[in-house]
Each structure stands twice: as structure tokens, then as C-alpha cells.
Amino acid sequence: MSLSQKVLVLEDDAGMQSFLATLLSSQGYVAELCGSGQQGLQLLASQDYALLLLDLGLPDLDGLQLLQQLRLWSAIPVIVISARGKEQDKVQALDLGANDYVTKPFSAGELLARMRSALRQNQGSVRQWQFGNVLLDPVQRLVSKNGERVHLTKTEYELLLCLLRHAGVVQTHNQILQQVWGEVYQGRPEYVRVHMAQLRQKLEDNPAVPRYLTTEAGVGYRLCL
């Protein structure tokens, strides 16, 4: 499968998912469907896609917030497909980095033409994240320190990714638990504390006095860039 064929569809409506999957398949694209904003961000960080079709009305994360976070580290072409037809919504989405905005209902021909135009821009590169001497490549899922690869467990990697997405902003224990472990782990801050300690051992020069992975006493954690 070539990268040019792979499209991520972030849309929670089952009928629209089915329509888009059928349409894209008929044109030679491979559509991956996702109805969760947080899960969509994880997929975008861990896999290669040529294009993102983004609905703004996701159940767990507003599409505009998702777009703002995504543009911190990815230049993948994004076409917003939304029932929000107000000029203010379109302007805001475009200002936040969307390549195009299509208002529902739309024709198949119009969407396909806009996709072809966005793909021609060839903006699918994903930049790397860096803090101090630590480098994270979200495409390869590789983390290195001082040029040497650091092995992180899946949970440690997702925890680091969670903090990087919200760099500079404190994340509460429950916010981290929901994004990394899921809602069933709410109220279990010990999970975060244990894995944060492990992450500091691997990434901080002085884990006892962390410079980047800092604690907000009684609240949660913050990644300081």
C-alpha cells in the first residue's frame, strides 16, 4: 500500500463513515475510520497517512482543538467536513491550519476534487519533537537521548506523547489516566506516578530533580519545553 492511498477519517457518525469508506474505496484510497479524537491523534502520531478528513463534532474532543494540537507537530493535509456552516467556523478552522473546509451535505465529486488538490500540496511531513537532549519521532515511534535510542514501553511512550501534546500545560492525574489508560482507570493516580518515575529515569539527566517532566503538587504533571 502506498502512502498516497491511505486516508484517516475522523468521523463518529456511522452513516457518514460508511459513505466515506465506500467513496474512498471506489477511488483507490484506503480509508481508516475512527470516531474518537484522542484515538485519532494517537493514530496520526504512530502511523503514516496522506490525508485527514476531520469532522469537528467528535464526542470526546472538539475538532478545532484537535486541529490546533495536530499542527504543533504535523503538516499532514487536513480537510474539515462539518455541518457547521457559519463563516466564523470556517475562518477559525482555516486559521488553525486546515487546508480546506467542506460543509455537509456535500457531493462526492466536490470532496474528491478537494482531496486531490490537498494531496498535490504534498504537505504530509511530520516534524520531530525535542526537549533538551531528548528527541521523539512520532512517525517511527522512536525516542532518543543524546543520539542514542531509548526503549520505552507502550505505556511510557503514550504518557510522553500525552504530555508533549499539551506541552507547557499542566495535565491532571485524571486527564492523563483518561488519555493513556482509559476512563475505567479514573481515580488511580498511582498508575501515573509509577510510570512517570520510570520515564524520568530514562529521559531526565537528574531524575530526582526533573527539569522537563515536572510535578504540579496535588494536581498532576507538566512537560516544560
Question: What's the pLDDT tens digit per position in 61-82?
Answer: 899 989 988 887 787 899 999 8
Euclidean distance between CA atoms 51 and 74, whole angstroms: 11
Decide: helix, strand or coil at residue 160: helix
**CA distances, 107 to each of 13, 80, 87, 90, 110 (Å):** 17, 14, 20, 18, 5
Domain, as residue range, for 50: 3-120
Which residues face 8 on adjacent strands? 32, 52
pLDDT attached to residue 18: 95
Same-domain status, 8 and 27: yes
pLDDT attached to residue 3: 45
Euclidean distance between CA atoms 171 and 189, whole angstroms: 12
Same-domain status, 213 and 143: yes
Exposure of 217 by Cβ count < 10 A (0-12 exposed, 13-18 middle, 19+ buried)?
exposed
Final residue belonging to a domain, choices 86, 120, 154: 120
Same-domain status, 13 and 87: yes
CATH number of the domain to which 189 belongs: 1.10.10.10
- The phi and psi torsions of 181 (rounded to 5 degrees) equal -105, -30
pLDDT attached to residue 123: 47
Residues of the chain with pLDDT under 50: 1-4, 123-125
Final residue belonging to a domain, choices 93, 120, 147: 120
Count structural domains, the chain.
2
pLDDT attached to residue 85: 75
